[in-house]
Chains A and B, each alone.
Chain A
Amino acid sequence: MATSSASAIFRSSSVKPPVTSVAAATSLAQKLLSFKQTSPLISQSLKLSSSSSSAASSFTRRSFSCKSQSDPSTDSRSSKIQELHVYEINERDRGSPAYLRLSQKTVNTLGDLVPFSNKVYTGDLQKRAGITAGICVLIKNEPEKKGDRYEAIYSFYFGDYGHIAVQGPYLTYEDTYLAVTGGSGIFEGVYGQVKLQQIIFPFKLFYTFYLKGIPDLPTELLGKPVAPSTTVEPTAAAKACEPGATLSNFTD
C-alpha cells in the first residue's frame, strides 16, 4: 500500500502552488525532488542544483509561473468540489411512482417498494437534462413526522453527458444527504454527496450535488440556479424539449 500512497501524494488536487518570492523561498532548504513528470519541458530543461543561501543572492527576482499542465482526466482524482444543481419534477406523465404495496398493509410498511422515474431540468430551469430512475425501499413509517423513511437507490441521467448514481436516505418530511456512488461519461469516477430538498412533496425536488473526482463540468450545466420555491417551473421551451432547450440527446 505504501507505493500507492506515494503515488497518491504526487497526484493530488488541482491546487495551483503559489508563486513565491525569492525571500520566502530562501528560507526553504532546497530539496531535490525527483518525481515522475509527463511534461517533457520539466525533464529536459530543468537544472537543479542545491547550494547554500549565498547562491540565493545571485538568484534574480524571477518569478516562475507554475501552472498545472496536467490533463485532469488522466490525473488521479481531483478533490476539488464542484456544485451542480438540478431540479427533479414529476409531471405525472411517466406512470411514476409505481407504489407496490407488497407488505399488503394499509399503512406504509417495510416491504413496500416504489420504483420511480421523473424528469430532470438544469438548475436554472432553462434546459431539460434527462430523467431520474430507480427505486425507493420503504423502511419505516414515522407517524409523529407524518411521513416515511425510504432507502433510495437511483440515478440521474444527463443525455450524452452520462449519469450519476446515488444511494441514501429519502425522508418525505425533511431534507437529506445521499451518497454519490459513481457515474459515467463526464461523471466517470465521481464521488461526493448530494443534498436533496423537497419543494413540493412529492412532485418537485431540488438537488445540490457536491461532486469530486471529475474534470470541470461543462458550463451548460452550471447556470445560476433558480432559488427553490413552490412556484418554480421549467421554461416552456424546456418543458417542450425544444431544440436549444435540452441537453444533447437528453434522456427521456
Chain B
Amino acid sequence: MAACGNPAALKPIFSSELIDNRVASSFKSGGNLHFWQSVSSQNLKISTTNHSFSTRSGSISTKAFFWNIFKTKPDSSRSTKVQELYVYEINERDRGSPAYLKLSKKEVNSLGDLVPFSNKLYSGDLNKRLGITAGLCVLIQHVDEKKGDRYEAIYSFYFGDYGHISVQGPYLTYEDTFLAVTGGSGVFEGVYGKVKLQQIVFPFKLFYTFYLQGIKDLPTELVVKPVTPTPAVEPSAAAKAAEPGATVSNFTN
C-alpha cells in the first residue's frame, strides 16, 4: 500500500532487477495445468471418495461389475487453478492517506504507531480505474540497517461490482513481499492464495501480482496484459478521470 513510512523521507526506489524478476516469475508460475480438462477428456468423472457399496455378497456373480458413475460438478469443488491478476495501487494524495498515527509517541517509528490508508486501484494495463485499497498498517519495527520499517498490513482491494479481495501479511518499506490472500466476496468469494507486492515509487506507486486459487475464471475485463512497472508509469487520462468505459462497473471510490 502506498501508505506507510515517514512522508518526510520520500525515497523513490528504482529497481530494474525487481522488474526483471517479476517478468520472469510470471512465466514460471503458470500455475496448475487445467487438470479438470485433462481428466475429463479421458471420460473420467470422479466425485467423492470412499463410497460404500451395499451389495449382498451372495448375489455378486463371478463377474462382479463395479458400476459407478462419478459426476463432477465443477462449480461445487474448489478449483486449485492459479489465476494471475495484476493491479496498480497509486496514492494520488487526494484521499487524506496515509494517516500516520504516532501513538507510540516516540521520535522514531515504533511499535504502537498505526497507519490507516486508502489509495486508488487501477487495472494492470492502467486503462481502467478499478476501485480502492483500504485498511491498516501496524508498525512492527524500524529496521535501521535497511533504513526502513516492517509493518503488518491488513487491507482489502475493492473492484466495484466484482467484489473485493482481503489480504494480510508483511509490508516492508525496503523490499518486495508476499502477502496472504485471506478471502473475498463477489467473483472472489472463496478465494485463497498469495499476492506479490512490489514497490515502484515508495510510497506512492505499487504493483501487485495476485496468484488466486479457488475461484471461477476471472472476468475477462480484469485479465489484462500488465504495463511493465517503472517509476514513470501513469494511469491513462481517462482512467484517472474515471470516465465511462475507463472504469469497472460501480468502481469503488
Contacts and interface: CB of A to CB of B under 8 A. Distances in A.
Contacts of A39: 50-52
Interface stretch (B5-13, B151-159, B198-206): B151-159
Contact of B156 (A6, A42, A151): A151
Nearest to B31: A1
Interface string A63-85: 01111111000010101100000
B33 A179 contact: no
B189 to A, nearest CB: 5
A51 B61 contact: no
B106 to A, nearest CB: 16
Contacts of B163: 177
B21 interface: no
Contacts of B231: none
Interface stretch (B67-75, B121-129, B219-227, B235-243): B67-75
Contact of A46 (B33, B35, B43, B64): B64
Contacts of A5: 32-33, 35, 80
Interface string A118-158: 00000000000000000101111000000001010100000
Nearest to B54: A65
A227 interface: no
Nearest to B35: A5
Interface in A21-78: 22, 24-25, 28-31, 33, 35-39, 41-42, 45-49, 51, 55-56, 58-60, 62, 64-70, 75, 77
B117 interface: yes
A41 to B, nearest CB: 6
Contacts of B105: none
A115 to B, nearest CB: 12
Interface in B32-71: 32-33, 35-36, 39, 42-44, 46-55, 57, 59-61, 63-71
Given A5-B80, A79-B77, A102-B99, A33 B50 contact: no
Contact of A24 (B52, B69, B99): B69
Nearest to B155: A151
A168 B133 CA distance: 11
Nearest to B253: A140
**Residue among A112, A139, A213 having the largest count of chain B Cβ atoms under 10 Å:** A139
B245 interface: no
A181 B181 CA distance: 9
A9 to B, nearest CB: 6
B78 interface: yes
Contact of B64 (A49, A65, A109, A153): A49
Contact of A181 (B42, B53, B99, B183): B183
A33 B132 CA distance: 48
Contact of B50 (A37, A64, A110, A178): A37
B49 to A, nearest CB: 5
A196 B159 CA distance: 18
A79 B190 CA distance: 10
Contacts of A77: 78
B85 interface: no
Contacts of B166: 167-168, 179, 181
A182 B182 CA distance: 8
A166 B183 CA distance: 9
Interface stretch (A12-20, A87-95, A197-205, A238-246): A12-20
24 contacts: A6-B35, A17-B68, A18-B71, A31-B43, A33-B70, A37-B50, A42-B52, A46-B64, A49-B63, A55-B63, A62-B55, A65-B54, A67-B52, A79-B78, A103-B99, A110-B98, A111-B96, A139-B132, A153-B154, A168-B183, A169-B158, A179-B164, A180-B183, A193-B185
Interface of A: 1-2, 4-6, 8-18, 20, 22, 24-25, 28-31, 33, 35-39, 41-42, 45-49, 51, 55-56, 58-60, 62, 64-70, 75, 77, 79-80, 102-103, 109-113, 135, 137-140, 149, 151, 153, 166-169, 176-182, 191-193, 210, 212-213
